[in-house]
Structure 1
Amino acid sequence: MNKDQIKGAVKDAAGKVQQKIGMAVGSKQQQIKGLVKRVEGQSQKTIGDIKEAFKKR
């Protein structure tokens, strides 16, 4: 694993928590911020996955 994979996974998890909190308190803004954070995290993890794939070649 590389740092992009780890940071991406952490950001995705944090976004998921933020989304759930937004749902619990009825805040659409927090839900959207959480979703954006999740997408950023998933993208960063994907970049890390690609880097790992190229390392193994």
Structure 2
Amino acid sequence: MGFLDKLKNKAQQAKGRGKEEAGRQSGDPHLEAEGKSDRTAGGAKQVGEKVKDAAKEAKRTAE
């Protein structure tokens, strides 16, 4: 399930980049802010996945 979560997070970041750029091009600050929010949320989720991976690896090496 970790791989799918990482893929979803990357997709959310990409969607956010697209919204952000579309907002910039169209002069819509709301859309740009929404894109930044999506990008940030995706990045935060990616960090969470990396922490889980590191914890699993630490547990595996401690055994």
TM-score for both structures, normalised by structure 2:
0.80
Larger relative CO (CA 8 A, sep 6+): 1 or 2? 1
Instruction: Name the aligned partner's letter for residue 39 of structure 2.
Output: R
Task: Tell me, in whole angstroms, the C-alpha distance in 1 between the residues paired with 2:20 and 2:50.
Answer: 25
TM-fit CA distance, 1:10: 1.2
Aligned twin of 2:51: 50
Which of the two has greater helix per residue? 2
Instruction: Name the aligned partner's letter for residue 5 of structure 2.
Output: D
Name the larger-Rg structure.
Answer: 2
Aligned length: 57
Task: Tell me, in whole angstroms, the C-alpha distance in 2 between the residues paired with 1:50 and 1:5.
Answer: 12
Hey, which bits of structure 1, 4+ residues long, moved more than 4 A? none
Unpaired segments of 5 or more residues in structure 1? none
TM-fit CA distance, 1:5: 2.2
Unpaired segments of 5 or more residues in structure 2? 59-63
